[in-house]
C-alpha cells in the first residue's frame, strides 16, 4: 500500500491542493452571499434567490470539497509520516477550526433561509477574514515546517 501511495503521491497532493482551493473559494464566497442575502428584503424574491444560491454553494462546492480535503490530507500526512510532527499538529488544529467555521456557515445559511438574521453585514464581513488568515498560517506551516 505504501508503495502505491508513493507512486501516486504527487497526484494525490495535487488533488488535495485543488480541493483546498475549491473549499477556500466557497468559504470566501458564503459570508459575502450572507451579506447580500441580509441586504435583500425579508420574504422577497431576491431573498429566495439567495437561499437557493447559498444552498447550491454548500451542496456543490463546500461539502464535497471538505470531504476530499480531509480524506486526501490524512492519506498524505500518513504517507509522509507527518502525524508525529509539530507543524502538522498546528496545521491540523487550524483545519479543525476551518471545518468548524464551515459547519457554522452551513448552520447560518439554514437560519437565513428561515428568516433569522442574527448578524450584521459588518460582522459577516469580518467573519469573511477567518479563512484567509487561517489559510495563510497553514501555508506557512506546510512550506516552512517551523517546528
16 annotated ligand binder: yes
Q: What's the pLDDT tens digit per position in 80-108?
A: 999 999 999 999 999 999 999 999 999 99
Q: What's the pLDDT tens digit per position in 27-52?
A: 999 999 999 999 999 999 999 999 99
Answer for the pair 128, 28: CB distance below 8 angstroms, yes or no: yes
pTM of the predicted protein model: 0.93
- Position 1 scores a pLDDT of 67
- Position 94 scores a pLDDT of 98
Mean per-residue pLDDT of the chain: 95
Q: Enumerate the H helices of the chain as residue ranges.
A: 2-39, 45-56, 63-80, 86-113, 121-127, 130-144
Amino acid at each position: 500500500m505504501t508503495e502505491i501511495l508513493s507512486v501516486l503521491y504527487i497526484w494525490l497532493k495535487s488533488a488535495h491542493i485543488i480541493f483546498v482551493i475549491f473549499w477556500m473559494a466557497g468559504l470566501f464566497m458564503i459570508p459575502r452571499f450572507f451579506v447580500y442575502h441580509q441586504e435583500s428584503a425579508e420574504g422577497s424574491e431576491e431573498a429566495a434567490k439567495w437561499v437557493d444560491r447559498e444552498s447550491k454553494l454548500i451542496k456543490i462546492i463546500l461539502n464535497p470539497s471538505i470531504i476530499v480535503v480531509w480524506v486526501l490530507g490524512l492519506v498524505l500526512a500518513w504517507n509522509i509520516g507527518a502525524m508525529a510532527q509539530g507543524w502538522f499538529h498546528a496545521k491540523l488544529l487550524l483545519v479543525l477550526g476551518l471545518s468548524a467555521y464551515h459547519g457554522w456557515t452551513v448552520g447560518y445559511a439554514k437560519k437565513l433561509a428561515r428568516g433569522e438574521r442574527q448578524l450584521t453585514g459588518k460582522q459577516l464581513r469580518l467573519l469573511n477574514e477567518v479563512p484567509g488568515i487561517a489559510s495563510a498560517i497553514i501555508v506557512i506551516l506546510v512550506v516552512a515546517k517551523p517546528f
